[in-house]
Amino acid sequence: MSQAHWTKFEKETEEEVKNLVKQISGIQDEEDQNFQLALKFTWSNFRFHRFLDANSHKVQRSVNGIYEKLMVHSDLSKAESWVRLTEEFLNSPLPNTDGIKTDVHHSLLDLLLHLSDSPLNSNYSETPRLKETEKEDDFDWFGYLQEGELDTGPYPDTPEWSEEESEDEDSQQPLSREDSGIQVDRTPQEDQEKTVPVTWTVGEPDARTWLEQHVVTPYWQGHTPRFPHSLHLHSNLLNVWDQHLYNTDPLYLPEEKAFVTETQVIRETLWLLSGVKKHFIFQHQDGKVVVRNDVVVTHLTNNCLRSLLEHIAVYGQAVFRLQRFIDEVTGYDTEPCPPGSYSSKQGTEPPFRTYQAFVWALYKYFTSFKQELTTIERDLIGKDETVTLAGVLDRLSPHLAQIKVLHKVFCTGVAEVPPETPNVVRASHLLNTLYKAIIEYDSVGEASQQAVALLFSLWTETVRPYLEIVDEWIVHGHLFDPAKEFIIQRNKDVPVNHRDFWYATYTLYSISETVESEEKLSDAASGSSGGEQASRSQLTMVSFLKPVLKQIIMAGKSMQLLKNLDCKEADWCVADAERKSLYTLFLESVQSRLRCRDDSPTDTVTEQQATKQSLIKMQSIVAQHLQMDDIHDPLLAINFARLYLEQSDFHERFSGGDVIVDRSSESVTCQTFELTLRSCLYPHIQKRYIECCGNLMTTLKKDYRLLEYLQAMRNYFLLEAGDTMYDFYTAIFDKVLEKESWQQLAFLNVQLQEAVGQRCPEDSSRLSIFLETIDPVRKKQPVNNLDGLTLSYKVPWPVDIVVSSECQRIYNQVFLLLLQIKWAKYSLDTLTFSEEVKAKRLEGTPEEVKAKEPINQQIHRMFLLRVKLMHFVNSLHNYIVTRILHSTGLEFQHQVQEAKDLDQLIKIHYRYLSTIHDRCLLREKVSFVKEAIMKVLNLVLIFSDRWQVGFGAWKIGSIDKMESDFKNCHMFLVTILNKAVCRGSFPHLESLALSLMAGFEQC
C-alpha cells in the first residue's frame, strides 16, 4: 500500500472509530473527556490487541448452515437471497483490498454473523439496489495540457487566430460597431505591411462578467468594495451573528471590517509560512506576528476566525525566527552555502561551523517545506478541487508539528543562550539539546517517529563539524578548531617536546546545565580526571562523545606525539586519498544499519530444519513460563509450542524481551539511537584509537627503550640491582662505622659511578646523587642521618612523560627507607663477638655496673637483645624486599606489557609507585606505624654504636631501657598489625605480622 493510500485509510479509519464510539457511548461531543477516554481505549484495542483471523472454511460452513435452515423452514426467498448476496459480496472488490474472497471478506462476513440476530425471527424483504453506472471520464484534458499557455478568455471555443484568416476576414467584412463596444481605427495602408491588425469580437456583458471573475479584489486597500458571495445561511454566518449581537446587546456597535475570502486567507497563510514578511492579515510588530482585528470572512464569526489565525500566527512566528536565524548566520545571503564554504560577511572572526551546519540542516528542511507550500498554492490556483483552510491545515499538520519541534530545539539550544557565551559552550549546548530531544521524543514511541527522524537528520548535519575536528585530530594529530567550538582545546604555551606535554597540552571544557558558568578542567595524567570532576560537580559535556571521550583524547595526543617522534611514518600513516573521513564512515554505517533492518534475513537451512529449530526454541520458552507456575511437563510444553507456532507473530509477542522487533527503518527510534552511535560511530573511533596508541606504544618500547628505563629505575632506586648498589651503600656505612665524614658530594658521586660503571656503563652518566639540607632537629636521631640523600636519574624525552619528577620523588622516599633498613641490618651483621673483642669491650666498665649485675649476665643480655633486634630487622627487610618489591614488580612488568596506550601505562606506573609507597608504610595515615619502626631502627643503630665502643660508655640502666623500648615498640607493632590483618584491610601485612608475632613470643 502506498503512502497516500495508507494516509487516506488512516483518516477513514479514524472517522469510523469516532462514529463507533458515538453510537455505542451516546456521547456526541468529541472534546468530552469521557469521549477521549473511550476513543483511546478503542484505538488501543485496534492497534495493540491481536485477534484471531477469521477461518474461511468455518464462515462458509456457517453460511451453508443458514441456507439449509432456511430451506428446512421453507423460506425459499430468503434462502435464495442469502446465497446470492453472500456470493455477490465475496466476489466484489473492497476498498484498499486486492482480489476477491480474501480474508477481509470473510472477516466482515464473520462479524455480521456474530452481530446478527437469528434470521428466522425477523421479516425480511430484499431491497432492490441500482448498480452504479461506470462514470465517464469528463476531465478536461485539453485544458490540463494547455495549462500555462495564453489565456483563452471567456470564450475558449473561439478558434485560434491566424494571419491568413485575419487578412481574409478584413478583406471580406467591414468592421461594425455593433459587433463590439470597442472603437477600432483602420490602420493606414502603408503600415499594414509592418503591422497586422488583431480583431476580437466579444459581447459587453460577458466580457465584464469574465473580468470580474478573473480580477482579484484589492482587499489590502482600505474600504474595498465587498465581493459578491452566496446568500446561503452558511455563507452569512458573520451577518447572522452580528445581527444577534445587535439585538441582544443595546450597546453593541458594529465596527468597520475588511472582508476577505477564504482563498485569500489560505494564500496569506501559505505566504506567511514560506517566510514572506509583508502581509495584510498577518502583521509583524516588534519581531512578533500578530493578526489584524478588523479582518473577517462572511462564513465565520470574528472570534472563530481570530482563534484560527492566531494559531497559524504561532507557526508563522516560529518560521520567522528560524528564517531570521538562518539569515544572521549566513550573512543575509539568499541561499546558504553548504558546510565547508563560508560567507564573506562573517568579518575577521573565524566561522562558527557548528551553527553553520545547523543552519544548513534547517535550510534543507525549509526547502522541502516550501515545495509543499508551492504545491498547495498551485492546487489553489488550478481550482480543480475545493481547497479549504481546514483542509490546508490538515495537509500541513505533519509539517507544522515538525516546525514546532524545530522551534523548540532552536529556543532551547540557541535562543536561550546568553550572547556573550563562548563558542565551545554554544556548540556543546546545541548538540546536547538535539541529543536529549531525540531521546525525549523517541521515548513516546511510534507516535513521534516523524519528529525523531527529523531531529536525527538535524543532529547528523549539525554534528558534522565536530566529527571533522575529531577526524583531523586523531588522523593527522592536528586539532583544527579556529572558532574554539570543540570541547578540547590546545594549549599553545606547551610545545610537543616538553615533558609536561601529556598533562598540560589540552584543556577539557565542561558545561553546566544552566549554561551560565564555565569550568576548565586540565587533562591530567589519567586522561579521565576531568570527567570524574565533572560528575561530582554535576556538569555535563557533549553527551554523544562521553563514551569515547577518553579514546579521542588518547588517540589525538598519541597521533600528535607520533608526528614529532623520529619514526617511520609510512608504517602507520594512511594516505588521505585512500581513506574515508570519520563523518563519511558514520553515515555509511547508519545507512547500512537501516538497510539491514529492511532486508529480511536469508536463511540457508531448509524449511524443515527451520521449523524444527523454531519448535525447539519455542518449546524452551514455553517450558520456562510453565515453570513459573511449578508446572514441569515437557509434553505439555511441546504441544503448546506446536499450537503457538501456527501464529507467525506469536514468537515475538510471547518471548518478550528475548526478541527485539525493530520499528520503521525510516527513522532511528527509541532505544536504537544510542545503539546506532555504539554500532555506527564509536567503532570507527575505537579502531583509530587502537591503531594510534598501539603504534605509539610500539615506538616507545622499541625505538626509545621505555621498558629498559623503567627497569633501570627499579634497579637503582629500589635496589633490585643488588650487587651494584651494595658496593655503593656499604662504602657509606663503613664510613659511618669508622666515625668518618661521608657527607661529601664528590665522595658519594665517585662511589656511585664506580659501582654502576663496572656493570652498566651506559647508566653511569645518567645517575647522580644529591644532598638536600635537612632540619638539624631531625638529625638528633642516628637513623635520620641519611635524610637528604637523593638519587637522580636523567630520563630522555619522551620517556620522561612516564618517569616524571613526581615519580622520582616517590622513588626516592622508598629508596631512603630501604637505605635505613639496609643500614640497620648491616650494623647488626658486622658486630663481632670474639673473646678478645669481649675483653676489649669490658675495659673501662664502671664499678657500679659490675657490682649491680655480673658481667657475663650482662653480656648474655646483650646477645639476646641483638638476636631480637636482628630478627625484627630481618623480618622487616624480608617483608619489604620479598613481599612488596619483588611480587609487586612482577605484576607491574606484566601490566606494562599489556598496556594499550600511554595514558594507561602512566596509570599503571603511578599505581605501582602508589602501592609500594603505601605498603612500605610511608603514607600519612599509618605514620604512627612508621614512627614505631623508625624507633626500633634507631635503637639498632644506638645498640651497634655502643657495642663497638664498649661497656665503658654505658650508663646504669641503659640495657634495661633499651630492652623496655624495644619491647614496647615490638608489642605495639604486633598489636596494630594483627588488628589490621584481622579486619582484612591490609592482607599484605600478614607475613610481617606473623613474623613479628613469632619473635614477640620468644621474648
Interval 886-907: pLDDT, tens: 888 888 988 998 888 898 899 9
pLDDT at 920 over 90: no
pLDDT on residue 193? 42
CB within 8 A of 972, min separation 6: which ones? 932
Task: Judge whether 104 lies within some domain.
Answer: no
Q: How far apart are CA 79 and CA 126, in angstroms?
A: 11
Report the Cα 78 to chain-centroid distance in Å.
68
Query: 383-386: which pairs have CB atoms within 8 A and are 24 or more residues apart?
Result: none
| Lowest-confidence pick of 125-139, 523-537, 593-607, 802-816 | 523-537
* Eight-class DSSP state of 412: I
Which single residue is written with the C-alpha cell 525447539? Answer: 616
Check if the beta carbon of residue 622 is closer than 8 Å to that of residue 637.
Answer: yes
pLDDT at 202 over 70: no
* Eight-class DSSP state of 767: E
Judge if the upstream peptide bond of residue 798 is cis by omega within 30 degrees of 0.
yes
pLDDT on residue 653? 39
Task: Judge whether 161 lies within some domain.
Answer: no
Cβ-based neighbour number of residue 803 at 10 Å: 22
| Lowest-confidence pick of 150-164, 385-399, 639-653, 830-844 | 150-164
For residue 525, which of 914, 210, 949, 946 has the smallest C-alpha distance?
A: 914
User: 536 and 477, same structural domain?
Assistant: yes
Check if the beta carbon of residue 252 is closer than 8 Å to that of residue 288.
Answer: no
- As a whole number, mean pLDDT of residues 400-404 equals 93
Which single residue is written with the C-alpha cell 494516509? Answer: 7
Q: Is the dihedral of CA 29, 31, 33, 37 positive or negative?
A: positive
Mean pLDDT of the chain: 76
Task: Judge whether 694 lies within some domain.
Answer: no
pLDDT at 975 over 60: yes
pLDDT at 661 over 60: no
User: What's the CATH code of the domain at 922?
Assistant: 1.20.120.1900
pLDDT at 404 over 90: yes
The DSSP annotation for 672-711 comes to THHHHHHHHTHHHHHHHHHHHHHHHHHHHHHTS-HHHHHH
Task: Judge whether 759 lies within some domain.
Answer: yes
Q: How far apart are CA 466 and CA 485, in angstroms?
A: 8
Query: 338-341: which pairs have CB atoms within 8 A and are 24 or more residues apart?
Result: 339/461, 339/464, 339/465
Q: How far apart are CA 291 and CA 304, in angstroms?
A: 13
Question: Pick the residue with more confidence: 267 or 566?
Answer: 267
User: 642 and 557, same structural domain?
Assistant: yes
Tally of structural domains, the chain? 4
**How do residues 698-715 score in pLDDT, each as one tens digit?**
999 998 999 999 999 999
pLDDT on residue 333? 54
pLDDT on residue 102? 84
**How do residues 781-816 score in pLDDT, each as one tens digit?**
788 888 888 999 999 988 999 998 899 999 999 999
**Most confident listed range (51-55, 172-176, 847-851, 958-962):** 958-962
Question: Pick the residue with more confidence: 928 or 778?
Answer: 928
User: 410 and 449, same structural domain?
Assistant: no
The b-or-e profile of 500-517 (16+ CB within 10 A means b, else e) is ebbbebbbbbbbbeebee
pLDDT at 767 over 50: yes
Instruction: Tell me the pLDDT band of 170, cut-offs 50, 70 and 90.
Output: very low
Task: Judge whether 341 lies within some domain.
Answer: no
User: 712 and 666, same structural domain?
Assistant: no
- As a whole number, mean pLDDT of residues 684-692 equals 91
The DSSP annotation for 422-461 comes to -HHHHHHHHHHHHHHHHHHHHTT-GGGHHHHHHHHHHHHH
Cβ-based neighbour number of residue 948 at 10 Å: 17
User: 500 and 638, same structural domain?
Assistant: yes
Check if the beta carbon of residue 424 is closer than 8 Å to that of residue 485.
Answer: yes
Task: Judge whether 81 lies within some domain.
Answer: no
Question: Pick the residue with more confidence: 629 or 893?
Answer: 893
pLDDT on residue 576? 54
Check if the beta carbon of residue 426 is closer than 8 Å to that of residue 354.
Answer: yes
**Percentage of the residues of the chain whose pLDDT score is greater than 70:** 71
Check if the beta carbon of residue 769 is closer than 8 Å to that of residue 748.
Answer: yes
**Most confident listed range (488-497, 640-649, 659-668):** 488-497
Residue 40 cell numbers, joined: 483511546
User: 898 and 881, same structural domain?
Assistant: yes
Check if the beta carbon of residue 342 is closer than 8 Å to that of residue 355.
Answer: no
pLDDT on residue 248? 86
User: 972 and 835, same structural domain?
Assistant: yes
The DSSP annotation for 510-542 comes to EE-TTSS-EEEEE--TTS-HHHHHHHHTT-B--
Task: Judge whether 185 lies within some domain.
Answer: no
Count Cβ atoms within 10 A of the Cβ of residue 883 and give its class: 0-12 exposed, 13-18 middle, 19 or more buried: middle
User: 716 and 635, same structural domain?
Assistant: no
pLDDT on residue 336? 54
- As a whole number, mean pLDDT of residues 505-522 equals 53
pLDDT on residue 684? 92
pLDDT at 181 over 90: no
Instruction: Tell me the pLDDT band of 200, cut-offs 50, 70 and 90.
Output: very low
Q: What angle do CA 733, 737, 741 make, to 5 degrees?
A: 75
pLDDT on residue 43? 81
Count Cβ atoms within 10 A of the Cβ of residue 638 and give its class: 0-12 exposed, 13-18 middle, 19 or more buried: middle
For residue 503, which of 480, 529, 535, 475 has the smallest C-alpha distance?
A: 529
User: 470 and 422, same structural domain?
Assistant: no
Check if the beta carbon of residue 474 is closer than 8 Å to that of residue 555.
Answer: yes
Backbone Cα Rg of the chain = 48
Task: Judge whether 112 lies within some domain.
Answer: no
Check if the beta carbon of residue 260 is closer than 8 Å to that of residue 295.
Answer: yes
pLDDT on residue 212? 64
Instruction: Tell me the pLDDT band of 201, cut-offs 50, 70 and 90.
Output: very low
**Most confident listed range (155-159, 536-540, 802-806):** 802-806
CB within 8 A of 552, min separation 6: which ones? 470, 473, 474, 488, 545, 685, 689
User: 452 and 397, same structural domain?
Assistant: no
Question: Pick the residue with more confidence: 764 or 2?
Answer: 764
Q: What angle do CA 651, 657, 661 make, to 5 degrees?
A: 65
**Percentage of the residues of the chain whose pLDDT score is greater than 90:** 19
User: 709 and 575, same structural domain?
Assistant: no
| Lowest-confidence pick of 68-77, 528-537, 853-862 | 528-537
Q: How far apart are CA 398 and CA 191, in angstroms?
A: 62
pLDDT at 156 over 70: no
User: 386 and 248, same structural domain?
Assistant: yes
Question: Pick the residue with more confidence: 669 or 850?
Answer: 850
Instruction: Tell me the pLDDT band of 817, cut-offs 50, 70 and 90.
Output: very high
Question: Pick the residue with more confidence: 614 or 46?
Answer: 46
Question: Pick the residue with more confidence: 8 or 146?
Answer: 8
- As a whole number, mean pLDDT of residues 400-414 equals 93
For residue 828, which of 941, 725, 734 has the smallest C-alpha distance?
A: 941
- Antiparallel, parallel or unpaired: β 295-296 and 518-522: unpaired
pLDDT at 345 over 50: no
The DSSP annotation for 861-923 comes to HHHHHHHHHHHHHHHHHHIIIIIIIIHHHHHHHHHHHH--SHHHHHHHHHHHHHHHHHHTT-S
How many CA within 13 A on the CB side of residue 606? 2
Check if the beta carbon of residue 958 is closer than 8 Å to that of residue 995.
Answer: no
pLDDT on residue 278? 87
Residue numbers of the domain that contains 868: 704-999
Query: 99-105: which pairs have CB atoms within 8 A and are 24 or more residues apart?
Result: 101/56, 103/53, 103/54, 103/56
